[in-house]
Amino acid sequence: MKPDAAKPEVLVIDDEPQIRRLLRLILEEDGYAVREAETGKAGQGEILRHNPDAIILDLGLPDEPGVDVLRRLREWNATPVLILSVFGQEGSKVAGLDAGADDYLTKPFGEAELLARLRALLRRIKPAVAASKFRFGRCEVDLAARRVTRDGHTLHLTTTEYALLRLFITHRDKVLTHRQILRELWGPKAEGQTHYLRTYMLRLRRKLEDDLEAPRHFQTESGVGYRFLSDPADAA
């Protein structure tokens, strides 16, 4: 049972005591309850016993790769996972995200970024309102009617553009890798065709962003993929 029902519980799986100590200080100061594990095996035991609200998982564990822990976890559990990776290891980030992680953070990380990413993950698991409309910036998407408007005027989106937009809205605030998006929209054989994705991202930004040079919502995660940023109040 959780120590305090009012506090979201976060499990930190990391073999470095100083990192666990730092995360505990930051998270408890912000109102979270924290549990710790230093190996993949111990972490899986904590998940089974306590069912945390979110997991922070280091990819470099001593007993097994964090990606393997994540793959097994995703066979039976959908708890949001924030992975920790070392700067410059884009391949590890992509592997973690493809294995089922919801977001990533690069060491060393800032307190504000950690807390912001965690809040975004926890927003996604709140009981969903069966909303048919979603607003962002000057745009509104009516998912039931399959209609997109900007400043009240209907926009024409192709079938693929709309499918890409819907995918981002469904996974808002979550990083989607190039491979994930290409597989979802064009199938497994298209996973290496990143030029498809660049073309359609440009089209969406032209139609939906205020500033094409500094997009607010459709963010590029360099070397990894894309993230659609929303506001907690955007869903209607």
- Domain membership flag for residue 198: yes
pLDDT at residue 184 in the model: 87
Based on the fold, state whether residues 119 and 137 are members of the same structural domain.
no
Write out the residue range of the structural domain in which residue 159 sits: 133-228
Among 96, 124, 152, residue at a domain's last position: 124
Q: pTM score, two decimals?
A: 0.73
Of 55, 105, 68, 114, which is closest to residue 85 (Cα–Cα)?
Answer: 105
34 in Cβ contact with 27 (< 8 Å):
yes
Tell me, yes or no, whether 184 and 208 share the same domain: yes
Note whether 31 and 48 are same-domain residues: yes
Residue 185 lies in a domain: yes
Same domain flag for 114 and 26: yes
Q: Please state the φ and ψ torsions of residue 183, each to the nearest 5 degrees.
A: -65, -40
The answer as to whether 234 is a domain residue is no
Element (H, E) at 41: helix 40-50
Residue 223 lies in a domain: yes
- Overall number of domains in the chain: 2
Last residue of a domain, one of 73, 92, 124: 124
Q: Do 58 and 143 sit in the same domain of this protein? A: no
Our CA angle for 61, 89, 102, nearest 5°, is 70
236 residues of the chain, pLDDT tens digit each = 454 456 899 999 999 999 999 999 999 999 999 999 999 999 999 998 888 999 999 998 999 999 999 999 988 888 999 999 886 677 888 999 999 999 999 888 999 999 999 998 888 765 444 467 889 999 999 988 889 999 999 999 999 999 999 999 988 888 999 999 998 888 878 778 888 899 999 999 999 999 998 999 999 998 899 999 986 444 44
Give, to the nearest 10 degrees, the angle between helix 17-29 and helix 111-124.
Answer: 70
Question: 6-27 b/e with 16+ CB inside 10 Å = b?
Answer: ebbbbbbbbbeeebbebbbebb
- Pairing assessment for the beta strands 175-177 and 218-221 based on DSSP bridges: unpaired
Residue at 68 is within a domain: yes
Q: Residue 1: inside a domain, yes or no?
A: no
Of 124, 141, 166, which residue constitutes the final position of a domain? Answer: 124
- 116 lies in the same domain as 169: no
Burial of 118 (0-12, 13-18, 19+ CB in 10 A): buried
- Do 21 and 113 lie in one domain? The reply is yes
Both 110 and 41 in one domain: the answer is: yes
174, 141: one domain: yes
Strands 133-136 and 139-142 turn out to be: antiparallel
CA angle at 49 for the pair 48 and 51, rounded to the nearest 5°:
70
Q: What is the dihedral of CA 83, 85, 89, 93, to 10 degrees?
A: 0
Among 125, 105, 123, 119, CA closest to 22:
105
